[in-house]
Structure formats: C-alpha cells, structure tokens
C-alpha cells in the first residue's frame, strides 16, 4: 500500500517535474533538493505505484521490453533466436540505492551461492539491473560515495551496465529514470552528476498553516486506515494515470515552432549554460509539459514553467553562492519573455 | 475500589504530569512504536542502563533488545549468505540480517554519534519500506558531535536527562496500546500542532506527524478517547521543541531581533550584499591553490622523523573498509574472506582437493581488504576579529578567506570557522561542507575588542585535534595582525599575551598540524613571522590589494551585473 500520488499536498514544481520525467524518460531524471520530511520519497514511491504495469520478458533478470528488440539483453536475444519470448506483466521497478551500497550490490556480482554449490559462474544482478525500465531512487544523493557515483555516471549516460569482474564478462541494458534527493547544506554534488539529472527542483516546507495542516491531516488519515484513504483517491489517481499515458502517446506529435526554439536558445545563451544539454533538456521538458496539458504545440508558457527546473543546476556558478540560481533563471525569463 | 486493589493502577487514568519527560517519551514510544525511537544523549552508566531496562519492560512480553555495534558488516546487517555455516554444512545457509531480526524488537544503536551516514542509510532504507523497528540511538557524543541527521530526523524523541523512576505500569501501557487506534484527533488539535510547529520553525512534515502520533499516544495513556490540550502540550514539548530552529516571535514586535542567525537564514536580511562584493573584490592576491599545496605537504606519506616502520607499507591497513583487491597475504594485510571465497568458488569443480577438504583455495584467490585512509581535509580558519584587526584589514582578511574557501570548494574540503576577539575564541561555524554558510557567517562577522590570540590558536588546535581523531586531515589557517594583548588567563597584558600565543603556537607544532599564518597587519610583523615559525607554519603577509585595482574590480563587477539586466 502506497500513499496516493494525488493526495500529496502542494509541492507543485516537484510533482510537475516528476510527472514530466515519467512522460519523457529521455529527461533522464529529477534531482530534488530540500529539507527532510517534505515528501520527496513519498512522491517518488507514489508515482511508481500510480503508473501501469509494464510488459516484460518472463524469467529475464533485467525485465527486458519484448516490444523493443534493440535493447534486449544477450540472454533474451538467444532465446528470441531459438523461438519466441514469453511476456508477463510486471510492476514498474522503483529501486532504492542506499548510501553505502557496495559496488557488488550496485553493479551485480558473481552469485556466490551457485558458485559454491555447483561451481557454476552465474551473474547475480545488482541494483542497476533491477532498476532497468523503472526508477532508481537515491536519497541523500549528495552523500553518495565517489566510487559509486562514478559507476552511476557511466551507466546513466550509456544506458548499459558493463560488468567485467571476477571472471564475469557481460553487459546488460540499464535504462532508468534517476531520482535523487538531498539537502545541499550537507554536501555538494559533483557537476558531472548534476548534469545527469535532467530536472532539478527545490522543495521547501510550506510556510502557510493551512497547507501544513492538510499535509498532517491526510497523512494521519492514511496511517489510520490506508485502505479507506487509498480508495478515496482511487479515481483521481486513475485520471492522472490516464493523463500521463495519453501524454506519452501524444509526445511525438507535439510541434515546436522555430520561434520557441530560438527563445529556448536565447534563454540558455543569456544564462551561459554549458553545452547544449541545457537547451535540449529545456525543450524536452517543455514538450512533456505540453503533452501533459494536451496542448498541440509547445508554447512560451511551457518554456517559462520548465525553465527553472531544466536550467537552474546548469549555470556556471559561484561556489560560494547557492541561493541565486533560481533567481538568475527567473530574471532571464522575465527579460526575454513577454509578460505572462 | 481502594488503592490496595491490585487492578487499581489499571483503572485510574494516568496524569501525564506525574512523570518526567524522558519517561513519558519512553511510555509514548511503547504505546505507539511507529514513533520509531529515541535519540538518547547520555553516557553509559547505571542511570542509562536503568532507563533502557525500564523502557524495555514497557513493551509487550517477548520483546527483545538487540544491539547494533558500529563494526557491523553489511552481510550481518542486511543479511546474506552465512559463510561459516555454509562451509560447515556444505550447502548454502542464509542469515536474515540484524535489521530483519530486530523487527518488532528494540534495537540499540551503540555509539550512534560515530555512525556514518552510509550505515544510517541502510537502516533508514528498511524503515522506509515499512520495517517495524524501534531504535534507540545511544549517543555518547560531545556537544558538537551527533548522529547523522537523517537518522535523528526519524526518531520522534530526544532524551538528555535521565530521571530516576517511577515508571508507569506496563498494564497501563498495554491498555493504551490497545486503545490507540480509537483515539479521536479533532481538527483543532491538528491545527494547533501545526501552528506550534510553524512558530518554532520546524521544517518537516514528519515532525508534525510524529507530534500528532505522540499526542494520540498521550491521550491513550491518560485514558482519554480524544486528543486534548494536555496531550498537545506534551507532544509539542517532546517532539517539536527539540526540533525548534527559532523561538516563537513575541506577537507585539514586528521585527524580532532573530537571535539565531544560523537557523533564521531563510528570511534573514540580504543587505550584506554590498559588503560581500567589496570583500570579494578585495580578494587579496593570494598564491593559487595555497591550501592544496599545504595539504600535499601534510599528506600521510610525510616523513615524521623516527618511527619509520610504517613508512614502507604503501597500503593502509586501517581506516574505512573500501573493498578488496587481489594480493599476497603479506604481514599486516587483512584477508577479505568473502571476496577470497568468491574468487575461489568458480574453480572448485576443477581443483583437486585433499581428503575431507571442502574448499580448495590457491594463493591467487587471496583478496586483501582495502582500507580508505585518504582522509578528507578540513580547513580550520582562525580569524582575528579584534579591534586592531578590524581597523587594519578585516574586510580584506575576509576576502582572503573567501578566496581560500573557493579553493576548498574545488577540493571538496570541509571548512570550520573560529573567530577570536574580546576575551575568548568562538567556533562560529562547526565543520561543514556548506561553503555558502561559511560565507554567510563570515560576512556577518563583526570586528572589535582586544586580541586573545593564544585563545584563538588553542581553539583551532583543539578543533583540529578532534577532527584528526575523526579521521580527517586538518589544515590550520590563522589570520592575525599579531596584536595579541589578552593572555590565556584573560588578563590584559601584551608581553604575557605574546608569550602565551607563542606557547600555543608551539603546542600546535607538537601536534604536527599543517598550518598557514596570514599576516593581516598593514606592514608585515616580525611577531607574526615568529609565530608562524614556532607553529611550524607557512607564513604569508597578506599582500596589499592595490586600491586602483580594487576599484576597477568593483566597477567590472558592477558592469557584469548590469549586463545581465
């Protein structure tokens, strides 16, 4: 039983970013910065519970997608050549990567049990394998140890986990939406890792009392009777699920005018973001938002809404100043865009 | 019914006020274990033992107390293959792991202040997935040590003072536990708790939910069927107050003087902007990567003279475990059993074995535990904020520190900030990675008063010492104009103050810290140079920023800002 996504109070920017990442996996992830206890992990788990089951190859350690033959793992390809791939429905994986997870657990390792029992060399899939086609959630991502970050950087960029250890030599697909959360006061994130997250949002504890009361009230109602509470939100959850699915269908059909492209480029130029990833991400995010709102084309308002989450972590920044990124994006948006 | 009736204690509602807070926290936890736990700040001893035993007695029969030692390994914590049993039995035998075994029992986290965020993460991961754990974090830390915040945020209560009984009767607790679900939480109770939490600057919905649960448990404990004001008061006292980041503003004053700058930073004034840009522009022309050079000079390989036995071994054999690598079992190396077996396993069918030998291990299979002893550096800044220094070049010293902070950022070091003025030194910023906070603290640093240089150096030394014990590599940076005029005993005497400062410097040298002394006087001072020499520190006279260059830099800054508009 999971807290329903639509029962989460406030935190609109975070929820929009997470939904956008669910609509457009190419956004490759969301980084959520903020205080503890603001519902970050609740939102991630709730979204996964909201999304429909996926088709997967039966008995495949990586739950390969039978509809996408290009990303099949070696095992599935062999099975496909020999016959056909039986398909099952499975939940979208949400895998926690705990701080202090060992390399073995993340990458996968030799299955010790099998090796000791019959001497066979069997790969024991790690967290990256389990997260394939789902979400990899890292709480306190800024405290993650460097050697694990290195692993992630490579896999997140290539979509593939290459294992070369203990006499094992194999590769398997590992495409996942990376969700990280943390409190920047407690440690900085390496710029390379920042870059892997398409979107970055700041969450704050709401400061108005009615929102806070509503948060506690709903949580309390859920804790008291989860079944009843979940039923209460079943309809709105289903509506949101359908909206996300429709948006995924629509996504390739959304048009982007030259004017919007130019505006996005101007914005990135004005902010001095490094490379083209900022522009690309901004565009993808705006397109995902347009699809979510069932708009036929990306408009200025979509661009405006996604500018901060897509760009605020890409500014070349003054290491001693952590407060200004959002303000700078807002200012650039205000300068370039016609008043809303 | 008379008090002599055995069921008397069960039927009379308990008044919460008749127990001390620490005992109430324990009682509420026993009534509602989803409150998760207690952060117990107390040193071991009979009173802590009493407290823990009495607390355990409140839980239902059969509840056991388990202990999580700091040295727990992953396979034992999270479960996995039990190697010893597997080898003995010749078939795989699993162990469930301590966290799984501890469900529905009480788990003591020993020396929680030394728990790494990584270990805490694993425990919290289980909690996140709904594990029914009751955690008591036994924190024996000094005032500036604490368990990872991620852990303490999940423990509803904080207990520091351990009272002697009496404790409530276990029947009362069990009865309350049974009634808990039926307790009504009226809307105004939730409103009230949230208003309190907001007023106290508690930034976490989790805390508010804990407070509500605590209030409900309190009502159950008192035998009420609905949350009432005493329950709210108790919940606020036990859950919200320890998490307060500010005191409620008195209603009359529109502009409270914000006594704790550190916590009220969200709505803090931003008017230091001007001063900031001046200090930034004043960035004295310090040699680049000064700290990096210092750190390199003090890397563990540094010859310490004498005791050269360890000099030869390239790989540290102590420190944080950091995986394993193939290698010979040389003296001092520690065998990584699991990894060795893992390396040997695939070859077992091929290898010949002696009679009765279950596993054949060859030399090539040996895996040696690798330890990480490459400590993170921490730069400890001791800043002379005295009147003479303020008069001289405090602003420029601030600029210099900011320059060095940027250096730290690149190298991902921690920083700490100590200021000395008046009669004492004060740790303004405990060790942190948050350089933005360091900068904020620094800009707010006022100047004035006499110069207790010895106290400043002593404070830096004791902090450096503590950090070194925590496995970090401290770098001391002392910024002073050398005008010491307060001796260690607080007396106002220049000669005594100077002698004390030199003695403090020698004490630093004895500890072999790497240090940098920056002379902020208008002209380089011989005394400061001597001080650096006594400290074994690098000496650096803060070069004067050319005023013309300074103003040009300020103008350039202004222009670039204008360009953004």
Q: Is the pLDDT of residue B38 over 60?
A: yes
A153 shares a domain with A38: yes
With an 8 Å Cβ cutoff, are A207 and B198 in contact?
yes
pLDDT at B271: 35
User: CB within 8 A of B470, min separation 6: which ones?
Assistant: none
User: CB within 8 A of B258, min separation 6: which ones?
Assistant: B246, B264, B268
User: How far apart are the C-alpha atoms of B225 and B201, rounded to whole Å?
Assistant: 30
B457 shares a domain with B365: no
B387 shares a domain with B367: no
Q: Write the secondary structure of B414-475 as one string of H (helix), E (strand) and C (coil).
A: EEEEEEEECCEEEEEEEEECCHHHHHHHHHCCCCCCCCCHHHHHHHHHHHHHHHHHCCCEEE
pLDDT at B443: 75
Higher pLDDT, A154 or B553: A154
Which among A51, A12, A13 is positioned nearest to A248, based on CA atoms? A51
Mean per-residue pLDDT for B331-337?
Answer: 68
- Would you call B296 an interface residue with chain A, using a CB distance cutoff of 8 Å? no
Chain B, residues 118-137, CB within 8 A of chain A, namely 118-122, 124-125, 128-129
With an 8 Å Cβ cutoff, are A215 and B208 in contact?
yes
CATH, residue A102: 3.40.50.300
Give bridge partners of residue A34 from the DSSP assignment.
A203
Residue A71: inside a domain, yes or no? Answer: no
Q: How many CB atoms lie within 10 A of CB B62?
A: 7
pLDDT at A289: 96
Q: Is the pLDDT of residue B265 over 60?
A: no
B127 shares a domain with B81: yes
pLDDT at B341: 79
Mean per-residue pLDDT for B267-276?
Answer: 35
Q: Which chain A residues are closer than 8 Å to B187 by Cβ?
A: 217
The number of distinct structural domains making up chain B is 3
Mean per-residue pLDDT for B419-440?
Answer: 79
Residue B562: inside a domain, yes or no? Answer: no
Q: How many CB atoms lie within 10 A of CB B259?
A: 9
pLDDT confidence tier of residue B495, bands split at 50, 70 and 90? confident
- A with B: how many residue pairs have Cβ under 8 Å apart? 165
Which chain A residue lies closest to B151 (C-alpha atoms)? Answer: A36
The number of distinct structural domains making up chain A is 2
- Residues B343-377 as b or e (16 or more Cβ within 10 Å = b): bbbbbbeeeeeeeeeeeebeeebbbbbbbeeebeb
Q: Which chain B residues are closer than 8 Å to A110 by Cβ?
A: 342, 345-346
A147 shares a domain with A22: yes
B238 shares a domain with B327: no
* Burial of B234: CB neighbours in 10 Å, binned 0-12, 13-18, 19+: buried
B348 shares a domain with B479: no
Which chain A residue lies closest to B200 (C-alpha atoms)? Answer: A207
Which residue segment(s) compose the domain that A281 sits in? 251-336
Residue B458: inside a domain, yes or no? Answer: yes
A147 shares a domain with A45: yes
pLDDT in tens, B53-109: 999 999 998 899 999 888 887 778 887 777 777 767 766 677 788 888 999 999 999
A126 shares a domain with A19: yes
- Would you call A217 an interface residue with chain B, using a CB distance cutoff of 8 Å? yes
Name the residues of A annotated as catalytic. 277
Higher pLDDT, B293 or A332: A332
pLDDT at B543: 63
Residue A227: inside a domain, yes or no? Answer: no
B379 shares a domain with B366: no
pLDDT confidence tier of residue B262, bands split at 50, 70 and 90? very low
Percent of chain A topping pLDDT 70: 94
CATH, residue B394: 3.40.50.410
Q: Is the pLDDT of residue B523 over 60?
A: yes
Residue B250: inside a domain, yes or no? Answer: no
pLDDT confidence tier of residue B378, bands split at 50, 70 and 90? confident
Q: How far is A212 from chain B (nearest CA, A)?
A: 6
Mean per-residue pLDDT for B386-412?
Answer: 69
Residue B304: inside a domain, yes or no? Answer: no
Return the residue matching tokens 């609740």. A42
Q: Is the pLDDT of residue A43 over 80?
A: yes
pLDDT in tens, A166-195: 778 888 889 999 999 887 767 677 777 888
Mean per-residue pLDDT for A197-204?
Answer: 89
Residue B303: inside a domain, yes or no? Answer: no
Q: Is the pLDDT of residue B546 over 50?
A: no
Q: Which chain A residues are closer than 8 Å to B125 by Cβ?
A: 96, 98, 139
Higher pLDDT, A53 or B85: A53
Which residue segment(s) compose the domain that B333 sits in? 320-372
Of A175, A203, A231, the position where a domain reaches its end is A203
Is the pTM value of this prediction over 0.90? no
B22 shares a domain with B76: yes
B29 shares a domain with B73: yes
- Would you call B212 an interface residue with chain A, using a CB distance cutoff of 8 Å? yes
pLDDT in tens, B220-248: 999 999 999 999 989 998 999 888 877 66
Among A291-300, B113-122, B207-216, the minimum mean pLDDT is found in B113-122
pLDDT confidence tier of residue B149, bands split at 50, 70 and 90? confident
A190 shares a domain with A255: no
Residues B250-255: contacts with CB under 8 Å, at least 24 apart: none
Residue B563: inside a domain, yes or no? Answer: no
pLDDT confidence tier of residue B136, bands split at 50, 70 and 90? very high
Mean per-residue pLDDT for B528-556?
Answer: 66
pLDDT confidence tier of residue A152, bands split at 50, 70 and 90? confident
With an 8 Å Cβ cutoff, are B121 and A109 in contact?
no
- For all residues of chain A together, what is the average pLDDT? 86
Of A203, A231, A262, the position where a domain reaches its end is A203
Higher pLDDT, B483 or B294: B483
Residue B107: inside a domain, yes or no? Answer: yes
A137 shares a domain with A11: yes
Q: What is the DSSP letter of A186?
A: G
pLDDT at B564: 42
Residue A59: inside a domain, yes or no? Answer: no
Q: Which chain A residues are closer than 8 Å to B214 by Cβ?
A: none
pLDDT in tens, A98-135: 877 778 888 888 877 777 767 777 888 889 999 998 99
- Strands of the B157-159 sheet, one edge to the other: B65-68, B106-109, B134-139, B37-41, B157-159
User: How far apart are the C-alpha atoms of B232 and B320, rounded to whole Å?
Assistant: 44
Q: Is the pLDDT of residue B266 over 50?
A: no
Tokens at residue B416, please? Answer: 């700490």
Higher pLDDT, B90 or A240: A240
Q: How many CB atoms lie within 10 A of CB B472?
A: 17
pLDDT at B267: 39
Q: Is the pLDDT of residue B303 over 50?
A: no
A290 shares a domain with A151: no
Q: Is the pLDDT of residue B293 over 60?
A: no
Q: Which chain A residues are closer than 8 Å to B122 by Cβ?
A: 98-100
With an 8 Å Cβ cutoff, are B190 and A217 in contact?
yes
Tokens at residue B470, please? Answer: 């925590």
pLDDT at A339: 62
Q: Is the pLDDT of residue B493 over 50?
A: yes
Mean per-residue pLDDT for A304-311?
Answer: 91
Residue A120: inside a domain, yes or no? Answer: yes
With an 8 Å Cβ cutoff, are B347 and A119 in contact?
yes
Residue A193: inside a domain, yes or no? Answer: yes
Cα dihedral value B280, B285, B288, B289, nearest 10: -60
User: CB within 8 A of B77, min separation 6: which ones?
Assistant: B68, B97, B98, B99, B119, B122, B123
- For all residues of chain B together, what is the average pLDDT? 75
Q: Is the pLDDT of residue B412 over 80?
A: no
Cα dihedral value A21, A27, A30, A31, nearest 10: -170
User: How far apart are the C-alpha atoms of B272 and B477, rounded to whole Å?
Assistant: 24
Q: How far is A48 from chain B (nearest CA, A)?
A: 14
In this structure, are residues B485 and B420 in contact, taking their beta carbons and an 8 Å threshold? no
pLDDT at A214: 93
Higher pLDDT, B255 or B372: B372
Strand, coil or helix: what is B192?
A: helix
pLDDT confidence tier of residue B208, bands split at 50, 70 and 90? very high
Residue A142: inside a domain, yes or no? Answer: yes
A182 shares a domain with A257: no
Percent of chain A topping pLDDT 90: 34
Give CA angle at B159 (B158, B161), nearest 5°. Answer: 150
CATH, residue B59: 3.40.50.300
Tokens at residue B147, please? Answer: 């368990």
With an 8 Å Cβ cutoff, are A36 and B149 in contact?
yes
B407 shares a domain with B465: yes
Q: What is the largest CA-CA distance in chain A?
A: 71
A265 shares a domain with A191: no
In this structure, are residues A259 and A217 in contact, taking their beta carbons and an 8 Å threshold? no
Q: Which chain B residues are closer than 8 Å to A121 by Cβ?
A: 346
pLDDT at B337: 74
B84 shares a domain with B159: yes
Of B332, B348, B372, the position where a domain reaches its end is B372
Chain A, residues 246-265, CB within 8 A of chain B, namely none
Residue A329: inside a domain, yes or no? Answer: yes
Q: Is the pLDDT of residue B557 over 60?
A: no
Q: Is the pLDDT of residue A246 over 80?
A: yes
Of A147, A179, A203, the position where a domain reaches its end is A203
Alpha carbons within 13 A on the beta-carbon side of A298: 28
pLDDT in tens, A1-40: 789 999 999 888 999 999 999 999 888 889 998 877 788 8
User: How far apart are the C-alpha atoms of B472 and B253, rounded to whole Å?
Assistant: 45
B163 shares a domain with B19: yes
Among B86-95, B149-158, B555-564, the minimum mean pLDDT is found in B555-564
Give bridge partners of residue B107 from the DSSP assignment.
B66, B135
Chain B, residues 316-345, CB within 8 A of chain A, namely 322-323, 338, 341-343, 345
Let me know how many helices (H) and strands (E) chain A has, helices first: 15, 11
Residue B253: inside a domain, yes or no? Answer: no
Chain A, residues 48-107, CB within 8 A of chain B, namely 96, 98-100, 102-103
Report ipTM (2 d.p.). Answer: 0.78
B430 shares a domain with B353: no
């Amino acid at each position: 039983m999971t807290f329903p996504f639509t029962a989460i109070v406030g935190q609109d920017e975070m929820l929009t970013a997470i939904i956008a990442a669910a609509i457009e996996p190419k956004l490759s992830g969301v980084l959520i910065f903020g205080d503890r206890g603001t519902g970050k992990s609740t939102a991630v788990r709730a979204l996964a519970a909201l999304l429909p089951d996926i088709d997967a190859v039966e008995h495949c350690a990586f739950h390969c997608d039978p509809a996408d033959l290009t990303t099949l793992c070696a095992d599935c390809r062999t099975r496909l050549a020999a016959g056909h791939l039986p398909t099952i429905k499975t939940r979208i994986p949400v895998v926690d990567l705990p701080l202090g997870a060992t390399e073995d657990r993340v990458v996968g390792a030799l299955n010790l049990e099998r090796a000791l029992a019959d001497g066979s060399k069997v790969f024991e899939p790690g967290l990256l394998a389990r997260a394939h086609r789902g979400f990899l959630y890292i709480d306190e991502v800024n405290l993650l140890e460097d050697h694990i970050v290195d692993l992630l950087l490579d896999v997140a960029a290539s979509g593939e986990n290459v294992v070369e250890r203990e006499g094992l030599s194999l590769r398997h697909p590992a495409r996942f939406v990376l969700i990280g959360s943390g409190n920047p006061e407690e440690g900085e994130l390496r710029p390379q890792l920042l870059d892997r997250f398409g979107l970055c949002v700041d969450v704050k504890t709401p400061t108005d009392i009615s929102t806070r009361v509503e948060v506690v009230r709903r949580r309390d109602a859920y804790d008291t009777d989860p079944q009843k509470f979940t039923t209460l939100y079943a309809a709105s959850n289903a509506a949101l699920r359908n909206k996300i699915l429709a948006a995924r269908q629509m996504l390739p059909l959304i048009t982007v005018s030259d004017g919007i492209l130019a505006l996005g480029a101007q914005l990135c130029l004005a902010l001095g973001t490094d490379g083209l990833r900022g522009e690309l991400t901004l565009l993808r995010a705006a397109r995902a938002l347009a699809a979510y709102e069932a708009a036929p084309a990306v408009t200025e308002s979509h661009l405006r809404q996604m500018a901060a989450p897509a760009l605020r972590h890409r500014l070349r920044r003054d290491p001693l100043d952590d407060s200004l990124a959002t303000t700078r994006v807002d200012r650039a948006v205000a300068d370039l865009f016609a008043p809303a | 019914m008379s008090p002599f009736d055995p069921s008397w204690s069960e039927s009379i509602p308990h008044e919460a006020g008749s127990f001390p807070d620490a005992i109430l926290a324990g009682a509420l936890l026993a009534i509602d274990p989803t409150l998760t736990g207690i952060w117990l700040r107390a040193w071991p001893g009979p009173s802590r033992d009493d407290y823990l035993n009495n607390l355990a007695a409140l839980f239902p029969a059969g509840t056991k107390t388990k202990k999580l030692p700091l040295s727990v390994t992953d396979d034992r914590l999270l479960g996995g293959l039990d190697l010893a049993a597997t080898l003995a039995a010749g078939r795989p035998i699993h162990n469930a792991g301590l966290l799984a075994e501890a469900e529905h029992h009480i788990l003591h986290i020993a020396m929680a202040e030394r728990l790494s965020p990584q270990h805490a993460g694993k425990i919290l991961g289980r909690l996140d997935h709904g594990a029914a754990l009751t955690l008591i974090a036994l924190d024996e830390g000094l005032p500036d040590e604490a368990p990872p915040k991620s852990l303490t945020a999940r423990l509803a209560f904080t207990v520091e003072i351990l009272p002697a009984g009496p404790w409530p009767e276990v029947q009362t607790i069990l009865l309350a536990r049974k009634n808990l679900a039926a307790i009504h939480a009226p809307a105004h109770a939730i409103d009230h708790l949230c208003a309190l939490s907001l007023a106290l600057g508690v930034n976490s919905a989790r805390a508010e939910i804990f407070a509500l649960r605590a209030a409900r448990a309190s009502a159950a404990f008192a035998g009420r069927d609905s949350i009432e004001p005493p329950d709210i008061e108790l919940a606020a006292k036990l859950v919200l107050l320890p998490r307060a980041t500010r005191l409620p503003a008195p209603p009359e004053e529109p502009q409270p003087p914000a006594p704790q700058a550190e916590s009220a930073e969200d709505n803090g004034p931003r008017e230091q902007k001007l001063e900031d840009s001046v200090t930034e522009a004043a960035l004295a022309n310090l040699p680049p990567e000064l700290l990096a050079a210092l750190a390199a000079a003090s890397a563990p390989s540094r010859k310490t003279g004498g005791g050269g036995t360890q000099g030869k071994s390239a790989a540290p054999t102590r420190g944080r475990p950091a995986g394993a690598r193939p290698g010979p079992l040389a003296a001092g190396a520690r065998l990584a059993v699991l990894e060795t077996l893992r390396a040997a396993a695939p070859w077992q069918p091929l290898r010949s074995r002696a009679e009765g030998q279950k596993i054949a291990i060859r030399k090539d299979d040996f895996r040696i535990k690798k330890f990480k002893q490459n400590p993170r550096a921490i730069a400890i800044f001791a800043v002379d904020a005295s009147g003479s220094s303020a008069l001289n070049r405090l602003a420029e010293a601030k600029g210099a520190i900011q320059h060095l902070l940027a250096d730290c950022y690149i190298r991902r070091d921690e920083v700490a900030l100590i200021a000395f003025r008046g009669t004492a030194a004060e740790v303004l910023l405990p060790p942190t990675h948050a350089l933005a906070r360091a900068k904020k603290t620094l800009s707010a640093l006022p100047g004035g008063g006499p110069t207790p240089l010895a106290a400043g150096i002593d404070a830096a030394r004791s902090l450096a010492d503590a950090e070194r014990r925590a496995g970090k590599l401290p770098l001391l940076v002392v910024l002073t104009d050398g005008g010491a005029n307060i001796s260690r005993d607080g007396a106002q005497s220049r000669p005594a103050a100077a002698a004390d400062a030199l003695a403090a410097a020698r004490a630093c040298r004895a500890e072999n810290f790497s240090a940098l002394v920056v002379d902020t006087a208008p002209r380089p001072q011989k005394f400061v140079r001597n001080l650096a020499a006594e400290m074994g520190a690098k000496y650096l006279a803060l070069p004067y920023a050319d005023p013309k260059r300074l103003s040009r830099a300020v103008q350039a800054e202004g222009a670039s800002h204008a360009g953004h508009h």
